[in-house]
Amino acid sequence: MAAFAADGAALAGEWPGASLTRLAESQSPPQDGALTPVSWQVQGERHPLPAGEPEIWLALQASAPVWLTCQRCLQPLALPLTLDRRLRFVHGESQAEAMDAEFEDDVLALPRWLDLRELIEDELLLALPLVPRHDTCPQPLPVAVGQSELLGEDPGVDSRPDEGAKQPHPFAALRALKSGGGTSDPDAG
């Protein structure tokens, strides 16, 4: 990694969507849909400092349209996932932890060798939304009886219980016990 950054080297490519197994397992494409390829590019950078060793950076860009399940309508949701990250590499885990808490940039310990596929897959997984959902769902959502008014749907339909129907008072059983009736049946007293 240090030599890659020192040379200012760059790499780019495309991987089949199914080759990133953890990302593939987190997707739910429609039955006739396939996982799309992941396009990526990286650029090593070395930034000299006035005193001390130069900083080692990796600029990372990736894009992958992913298939998730909308948490509102439970239908497939195609989501364009894009990354544009800059990772700073330092010597040792303790230095990485200290700098990661202090700086906004992502800081990683400088590895002996870097598994680029794993790094890109990790970053894509971290970029997935916690609650994926359509801006506007393609099908109307099912609404349980009595919830349409709460959700602001079908305002012309009154789903409240009939006012004339006899409903037991919630504390009737307690009142019966307190008055010494000894029964818990609210209609008995």
**Residue 99 backbone dihedrals phi, psi, to 5 degrees:** -75, -30
Q: Is residue 23 domain-resident?
A: yes
Say whether both 108 and 162 belong to one domain: no
In this structure, are residues 68 and 33 in contact, taking their beta carbons and an 8 Å threshold?
A: no
Last residue of a domain, one of 87, 102, 127: 127
CB of 142 within 8 A of CB of 72?
Answer: no
Q: How many domains does the chain have?
A: 2
Same domain, 153 and 63: no
Q: Are 106 and 163 in a shared domain?
A: no
| pLDDT tens by residue, the chain, 189 residues | 777 877 788 999 999 999 999 999 999 888 877 888 999 999 998 888 877 788 888 999 999 999 999 998 888 899 999 999 998 888 877 777 777 777 777 888 787 788 999 999 999 999 999 999 998 888 776 665 555 555 555 544 444 555 556 667 777 777 878 887 655 555 554
Going by C-alpha positions, the residue among 10, 6, 7, 23 that lies closest to residue 120 is: 23
Domain extent for 42: 2-127
Q: Give yes or no: residues 62 and 149 share one domain.
A: no
Assess whether 108 and 181 both reside in one domain. no
The answer to whether residue 135 sits within a structural domain is no
In a domain, 138, yes or no: no
Confirm whether 154 is domain-assigned: yes
What phi and psi, each to the nearest 5 degrees, are found at residue 96? -65, -45
Q: Are residues 120 and 152 in the same domain?
A: no
